[in-house]
Amino acid sequence: MNGGKKLTEAQSGAKPSINHIQPYKEFVRMTKVSFVVTVFNKEEYLPLVIRSLDAQIGDFEREYVFVDDGSSDRSVEVIKECTKDAEFTVQIVSQVNQGASVAHDAGVAAATGDWIKFCDGDDLLAPDATRNLLAACERHNTEHAWGDLEYFEFGGEKDPLDRPSSELPEDYQSIDDGLSFFIRNCPANSTSMLIGREFYLRAGGCNKALVSPDQMLFLRLFRTGPGVHLQGAVGLLPDAAPGRLSSQKGRSRYESVLALHTVMTEAPGIPARHMAEAYRRATARAYRFDRRNHGKIISAHLMRYLESKLMVPARPQDRVYAALGAFTDDGRIERPENWKPAAIRTPS
């Protein structure tokens, strides 16, 4: 580690190289990990979050990059207090509220490490998370990896970081077609990820038009190159965190289908078979959500779902766009203004 604490709000544009094919012991000693924590009104959670960062085991250089996304509470003051004795670089990047996707990109822009380890502002990292994800990337010669998630009781009697130490695991799962995997479902979030910084930039990072960075980021990463799955918990999520997108059913489903539409229509494109998979996934989600939540048995979403069983239209992305109307209360395809991230919201 570099000596002395450095606290700054300036962003760094450095782009260090990535080396991920050395023997493991040498690899981790020559590696710098930037822990990027996105924060919006998380003062209650931050002391435990930062303690989980401090508890990371592994012989690698580290820095902390906190991105405060326009918090109105004491989040920044808590960060400064909890990191005042750090013996490595700590950065606080402050921005007006733009949303989590913009915050993730801002954190990567400020980072100077070879690798990015994300952590949401109310999530924890298991103590061996970073070490094990680095090992997964090195052993499989990949530039991104993700692990599993578990829940913990926030404020409970049990210390969620009191976990048995582990040997380096062998339970790695090489994903042959990660794009197909994450078109079908997104069982992880950014806290579960470790990504080479240059690879993140090459993949295009997050999309500011989406509230959640998660599925879109996974799709872009696997469109760009292979990754690996570590079978074991790397992220710990509070069992009750108000305001999480996953608790807002219509809005979260809308986001997932919008991510599919985006990856179908942006450059670089995706193969035709993945276009077909995204089309079938979106129309099925739309029909089932519309039936269960709006009570509609016969609808345009049913017709598109039945059509998807028989054929793939010339422009499947148009059907995916139409599917978005299943998730809004009024059936409109366009999102309600309050569903949009602040970065693209129309000023009132």
C-alpha span between 146 and 183 (Å, rounded): 16
Phi, psi of 264 (to 5 degrees): -75, -25
Residue 176: what pLDDT?
79
The answer for residues whose C-beta is within 8 angstroms of residue 150's C-beta and 6 or more apart is 233, 235, 236, 237
244 in Cβ contact with 266 (< 8 Å)? no
- Give CA separation, 266 vs 100, 104, 223, 258, 269, in Å: 20, 20, 12, 12, 6
32 in Cβ contact with 59 (< 8 Å)? no
Residue 298: what pLDDT?
93
246 in Cβ contact with 325 (< 8 Å)? no
pTM here is 0.88
Residue 214: what pLDDT?
96
- Interstrand relation of 32-39 and 115-120 (parallel, antiparallel or unpaired): parallel
Burial of 13 (0-12, 13-18, 19+ CB in 10 A): exposed
Residue 24: what pLDDT?
40
Average pLDDT for runs of 10 along the chain of length 348: 37 32 43 97 97 96 98 98 97 97 98 98 97 93 95 93 80 83 96 98 97 96 95 91 70 96 97 98 97 93 97 98 97 95 89
